[in-house]
Chains A and B, each alone.
Chain A
């Protein structure tokens, strides 16, 4: 005879089995068309480039060496690959500055939205959602039209007599930065707003009762409480920014490459798939380091406040 305990256990087991079956299609699709191929990239980064693209199945650490080093074609000596290092540095710098800029602008915006009356809050949320749902390429293109030499900013500056010749913004790092901050701002605002909306303003009031000034309230009460939103927003901005492809292509022109453009080059004219693979894995490593830093940071805060 089965005891009640056994019956319960069996029911639980069959429930878990059913749950695995139910999640199988999603897991399978992601495994085949997203996660699995990443492992192939890792393998490819250790192979020899084929003459017309693709690879020869022959082990070679050469791709990883050439991520940061250059081999002299005459005497085979290694030196630092200045071009690659510049691109790495530019990508990391632009991604970090974009994250900071969107945070500096997005935090007050989210705060503003969350402190509106219940009725108007939805309208503000709607207004921030529209750009979020609008095609990224279209928004980048819109920025292009504003900042180019014949664009509205330069036209206004010249008409106002501030400058005599158009200021070259397009095809510079600044253009990429402005474009990324513009397209990723909603990604920062939305998660911060989600945490901010749940903020209990009685805590803020208590802070003021205890003679805190506005800045102290912001730093000691509001910021720690919405930190999960800030972290989520920063991750959501940093990941696409470090791998940004559209913005540097449209606003940076051909010259100001970022990592994604360097990677694309290896699969096109460069015909060096192993190097492209190694660079892709390098981008993944940067993302993972950033994620780990954020997660650890988030964990620490929780302990302190918990």
Chain B
């Protein structure tokens, strides 16, 4: 008789395996068809890199990519700085008045469907635009920074909660100023969390379609909003090629994130 395993539940392994297969199957098909020589997206016409080439030569794609990176990096840095400060202010302390309010406020963007935030920002920024006459990238950066903060906050707060105050107290005992203590003790210990928060924020910004779609002015297409426009018009393997490149970037960032967060142990 087989050994009785306490961890076994009938059918669970089958469901889990199916889930993993189903999660990856569409992505694999998408990547394979990016290398399709045929113009049709259903017939296989041999291996070719021509769709990558055509995407590379498409100035709209390049402009949208650059804009995505520009907004993503500025928003991620700003969100991470704000989130680090907020995390320092909300951890390792006895509960004080307003602490719960801060948690709620920081996590608020997660609790509102993107479409509602998008609409709210459309209305608000259209007023501001009329009032100030400014219609640059500032709006997109502000919007992205706001919804990236809760994501950046998550790993930083988790990291801080696992750090006790002993080392900081020791530094203070040795006459370090608060700034020196932060710079020499807290920051190096917190660094993996900050890096993880930064990457998470960058990916979240790069991922956004809905809020960007509502906030952007003319000519401010990011890569996802550009792609959405193309998909609406009809699909070509060029979208597969762009997606594949984007996918590669995501995998690279996740891998990096994994190494950074593993280092904590």
B contacts with A: majority SS: helix
Flag if A33 contacts B143 (CB, 8 Å). Answer: yes
Flag if A19 contacts B146 (CB, 8 Å). Answer: no
Flag if A16 contacts B228 (CB, 8 Å). Answer: no
Flag if B41 contacts A145 (CB, 8 Å). Answer: yes
Flag if A30 contacts B105 (CB, 8 Å). Answer: yes
* Chain A interface, number of residues (Cβ within 8 angstroms): 90
Distance between A29 CB and nearest chain B CB, rounded to angstroms: 5
Distance between B42 CB and nearest chain A CB, rounded to angstroms: 4
Flag if B26 contacts A34 (CB, 8 Å). Answer: no
Distance in angstroms between the alpha carbons of A111 and B78 in the assembled complex? 37
Distance in angstroms between the alpha carbons of A201 and B8 in the assembled complex? 11
Name A32's contact: one of B111, B142, B243, B246 (CB within 8 Å). B142
Name B26's contact: one of A182, A250, A283 (CB within 8 Å). A182
Name B254's contact: one of A133, A243, A281 (CB within 8 Å). A133
Flag if A129 contacts B254 (CB, 8 Å). Answer: yes
A208 within 8 A of B: yes
Flag if A246 contacts B254 (CB, 8 Å). Answer: no
A270 within 8 A of B: no
B113 within 8 A of A: yes
B66 within 8 A of A: no
| A260-B246 in contact given A250-B231, A273-B123 (Cβ < 8 Å) | no
Flag if B23 contacts A27 (CB, 8 Å). Answer: no
Give the contact stretch, choosing among B48-56, B82-90, B168-176, B183-191. Answer: B82-90
A77 within 8 A of B: no
A97 proximity list for chain B (CB < 8 A): none
B27 proximity list for chain A (CB < 8 A): 131, 134, 139, 142
A151 within 8 A of B: yes
| A246-B228 in contact given A40-B123, A135-B206 (Cβ < 8 Å) | yes
Flag if B250 contacts A135 (CB, 8 Å). Answer: yes
Flag if A34 contacts B102 (CB, 8 Å). Answer: no
Q: Chain A, 10-32, contact with B by CB distance < 8 Å: what is the 0/1 string?
A: 00000110111111011101111
Flag if A33 contacts B113 (CB, 8 Å). Answer: no
A34-77 CB contacts (< 8 Å) to partner B: 34-38, 40-41, 44, 54
B209 within 8 A of A: yes
Distance in angstroms between the alpha carbons of A35 and B97 in the assembled complex? 21
Q: Chain B, 207-233, contact with A by CB distance < 8 Å: what is the 0/1 string?
A: 101100110000000001001100110
A257 within 8 A of B: no
A89 within 8 A of B: no
B178 (CB) vs chain A CBs: closest residue: A18
A-B contact pairs, 15 of them (CB 8 A): A16-B96, A19-B96, A26-B83, A29-B78, A29-B146, A41-B123, A109-B15, A129-B258, A133-B257, A135-B207, A136-B209, A138-B247, A141-B243, A250-B232, A280-B116
Residues in chain B within 8 A of chain A (CB atoms): 4, 6-13, 15-20, 22-27, 29-30, 33, 40-42, 78-79, 81-83, 85-86, 88-90, 93, 96-98, 102, 105-106, 108-117, 119-124, 126-127, 142-143, 145-147, 149, 153, 203, 206-207, 209-210, 213-214, 224, 227-228, 231-232, 235, 239-240, 243, 246-247, 250-251, 253-254, 257-258, 262
Residues in chain A within 8 A of chain B (CB atoms): 15-16, 18-23, 25-27, 29-38, 40-41, 44, 54, 105-106, 108-109, 111-113, 115, 122, 124, 126-131, 133-139, 141-146, 150-152, 155, 182, 185-186, 189, 201, 204-205, 208, 214, 218, 239-240, 242-243, 245-246, 249-250, 259-260, 263-264, 267, 273, 276-277, 280-281, 283-284, 287, 291
